[in-house]
Amino acid sequence: MDNQKILILDFGGQYNQLIARRVREHNVYCEVKPYDLSLEEIRRFDPIGIIFTGGPNSVYAAGSPHPDPGVFELGLPILGICYGCQLLAQELGGLVTAAQADSAREYGKTRTFFDTGCELFQGLPEESVTWMSHGDYMARVPEGFSLCARSEACPTVGICDEGRGFYGVQFHPEVNHTEYGRQMLRNFLYEICRATGDWTMSDYRREAVESLRAKIGDGKVLLGLSGGVDSSVAAALLSEAVGSQLTCVFVDHGLMRKDEGDQVEAAFANRELNFVRVNAGPRFLEKLAGVTEPERKRKIIGEEFIRVFEAEARKIGRVDYLVQGTIYPDVIESGKGDAAVIKSHHNVGGLPDYVDFKEIVEPLRMLFKDEVRALGRELELPEELVMRQPFPGPGLGIRIIGEVTEEKLAILREADAIFRQEVAKAGLEGSMSQYFAALTNMRSVGVMGDGRSYDYAVALRSVVTSDFMTADWTRIPYEVLDAASNRIVNEVRGVNRVLYDITSKPPATVEFE
Ligand code: XMP
């Protein structure tokens, strides 16, 4: 790749991925690498600048992480953030100590004053709010450095040696709470590192296609397509690169949402690739008959999926490469390099390991989710596919409480489609992380026309979350709930009651099972 690159050395801070995203948002490519990357590897990476991240340690503590000291001799600009700033100070001859007075420890939003003559703060107001989180402070700055930011409690919030291109800030420019953080990073990238902003999705697409062609040659490629964003974008990219050498196997387990199987198929129909849709719904339903226990349902669905996938893979014959939709957050090697753990992420809950392939191809492994979506648009995938909210592998199977039957699936598909339509009509999709209908196994009495009904209750669920580990229920406007509820009870036979789930995670989970 001949893009300009920024190297982010990871000292264990909690916002490291965010730093990388912010850099890329400015159209500059970057990668997060362990802090102990050797000088030779740094040279080989060939960055135009380096960022030291924050971290939980104290730079003066025994065993705290330090970079190769040669990093300061490369003639490259360096921006140190929080711990990274203290590292700069300590390694270059300054003094970092635990803040003596409580007032010099800073957490949270802090009024900060800047020297706007410093290139990092050029063009920004002289006073603004920053986000601090540090207990140590720089008691003496290194020779050659000057102070360029301060707060009321701390005189050494920002330091710089502009001759060498070294900058350090105690606060976190990457978080939204730092009012002008984005602009400061932009200044570092464009004014100090002389970035040109050459990281664009169309370049990425072109280069990825070229390198996939070079790697795959005339080999055969297999991809398990779930219809989710990652596997769909990977399929579109591979399809452009190697056309009919690619086979996409889409296992439609019959637990997809309304029209979803057809949408996935339509999105790939015009491409020159072998698209295999396996309509395995009856086979899944048969296995699920009479099963009510959530974990058993999940196991059955997961296992059946693999069996179907294996059978299709065998029909295709010898496959050289298997594609996985791994994305960057799954890959980042954090903290100490020698203990780096690289997660291997399966979109479909496990792939057969005896498919005879030479290598796993992961064309999205350097992209964040929003970049994967941008690439999907670049590849002209339909917007519904690109913006799909997460959908669990077991599909509607875990949104029907109790036994899964064809009748219940039909009810849920309709109710869920109506809810999503109403959310879209109100223009609320962007404000919710995941929203759907579930079918409870509760039936209750209602009145329809002049008669009594005894039908199912549908539960609507919507959450906002950034990581899906915790989630808050969405305060959907009553009018939207009202419209969805009215339509569901009027249009979906078998439903006479609509409930809205107002529990957060924890203690509830996002899905019902
Ligand atoms: P929970 O219900 O655990 O869901 O709070 C958190 C997120 O994970 C998704 N989810 C799954 N995704 N296979 C998947 O691919 C699964 O078995 C599965 N279970 C839950 C869920 O939709 C939510 O986004």
Which CATH fold would you assign to the domain 5-192? Answer: Rossmann fold (3.40.50)
Considering the candidates 31, 91, 119, 174, report the single residue annotated as catalytic. Answer: 174
Number of H helices, E strands in the chain: 14, 20
**Which H/E stretch holds residue 448?**
strand 434-448
pLDDT band per the 50, 70, 90 thresholds, residue 15: confident
Give the amino acid at 486. Answer: N
Let me know if the fold of 201-386 is the same as that of 405-500. Answer: no
Total Cβ atoms within 10 A of residue 345: 15
Q: Predicted confidence band at 351 (pLDDT cuts at 50, 70, 90)?
A: low
- The DSSP bridge pattern shows strands 166-169 and 221-225 to be unpaired
Closest atom of ligand 1 to 228 CA is 15
Ligand 1 midpoint to CA 41 (Å): 38
User: So what's the pLDDT on residue 282?
Assistant: 97
Confidence class of residue 24 from pLDDT cuts 50, 70 and 90?
very high
Query: Does ligand 1 lie within 6 Å of residue 470's CB atom?
Result: no
Domain parsing of the chain, residue ranges:
5-192, 201-386, 405-500
**What spacing in Å lies between the alpha carbon of 371 and ligand 1's midpoint?**
22
Instruction: Report the pLDDT value the prediction gives residue 184, as an integer from 0 to 100.
Output: 98
Site to substitute for ligand 1 among 511, 512, 513, most atoms within 8 A of C-beta = 511
DSSP summary character for residue 505: B
Q: Which residue has the tokens 């109506």?
A: 418
Choose the residue to mutate in 295, 432, 433, 510 for probing ligand 1, maximizing ligand atoms within 8 Å of C-beta: 510
Q: Check if the beta carbon of residue 111 is closer than 8 Å to that of residue 127.
A: yes
Check pocket membership of 84 for ligand 1, CB cut-off 6 A. Answer: no
Nearest atom in ligand 1 to the alpha carbon of residue 302 is 17
pLDDT score of 109 more than 70: yes
Distance CA 233, CA 386 (A): 8
Q: Please give the pLDDT value at position 347.
A: 41
Q: Is 248 a catalytic residue?
A: no
**What is the number of other CB atoms lying within 10 angstroms of the CB of residue 353?**
7
Q: Is 393 in the pocket of ligand 1 (CB under 6 A)?
A: yes
Ligand 1 within 6 A of 510 CB?
A: yes
Tokens of 211: 């390198």
- CA 126 – CA 149 distance, rounded (Å): 9
Give the pLDDT of residue 273. Answer: 87
Answer yes or no: is pLDDT of 101 > 90: no
CA of 148 to the centre of ligand 1 (A): 46
Contact in structure between 319 and 357 (CB atoms under 8 Å): yes
Q: How confident is the model at residue 355 (pLDDT cuts 50, 70, 90)?
A: low
Beta strand residue intervals within 117-205, DSSP E: 127-134, 136-140, 146-151, 158-161, 166-169
* pLDDT tens, position by position, 249-275: 999 999 999 999 999 999 888 888 899
Assess whether the C-beta atom of 100 lies below 6 angstroms from ligand 1.
Answer: no
- In CATH terms, the fold of domain 405-500 is GMP Synthetase; Chain A, domain 3 (3.30.300)
Please give the share of the chain, as a percent, with pLDDT higher than 70: 94
Mean pLDDT in the chain?
A: 91
Q: Judge whether 50 and 76 are in contact, CB under 8 Å.
A: yes
Please state which of the ranges 16-20, 76-80, 125-129, 286-290 shows the lowest mean pLDDT: 16-20
- The count of other CB atoms within 10 Å of the CB of residue 312 is 19
Of all atoms in ligand 1, which is nearest to the CA of residue 390? 24
Residue 345 pLDDT more than 50? no
- State pLDDT tens for residues 305-333: 888 988 888 898 888 998 988 888 777 65
Q: Identify the residue with better confidence: 287 or 312.
A: 287
Q: Is 485 helix (H, G, I), strand (E, B) or coil?
A: helix
Indicate if ligand 1 lies below 6 Å from the C-beta of 227: no
pLDDT in tens, 189-219: 999 999 999 999 998 999 999 999 999 999 9
- What is the amino acid identity at position 423? V
Give yes or no for residue 468 CB within 6 A of ligand 1: yes
Tell me the average pLDDT across 274-283: 96
pLDDT in tens, 413-465: 999 999 999 999 999 998 999 999 999 999 999 998 889 999 999 999 999 98
Amino acid identity for residue 498 in this structure: V
Lookup: tokens for 177: 């709470």
Torsions phi, psi for 248 (to 5 deg): -105, 125
Residue range 140-158, pLDDT digits in tens:
999 999 999 999 989 999 9
Whether 160 sits among the annotated catalytic residues: the reply is no
Q: Is the pLDDT of residue 341 over 80?
A: no
Tokens of 448: 């329809």
**Ligand 1 pocket, 261 CB below 6 A?**
no
Q: How far is the CA of 385 from the centre of ligand 1 (A)?
A: 18
Is the model's pLDDT at 349 over the cut of 60?
A: no
Reading phi first (left if > 0) and then psi (alpha if -120 to 50, else beta), residue 426 is in: alpha
Q: What pLDDT does residue 354 have?
A: 55
> Taking 50 as the threshold, does the pLDDT of residue 338 lie above it?
no
For range 15-24, the mean pLDDT? 90
What DSSP line would sit under 239-266, residue for residue? HHHHGGGEEEEEEE-S---TTHHHHHHH
Q: What is the pLDDT of residue 91?
A: 96
For the stretch 235-246, pLDDT in tens is 999 999 999 999
Centre of ligand 1 from the C-alpha of residue 227, in Å: 15
Q: Which CATH class is domain 201-386?
A: alpha beta
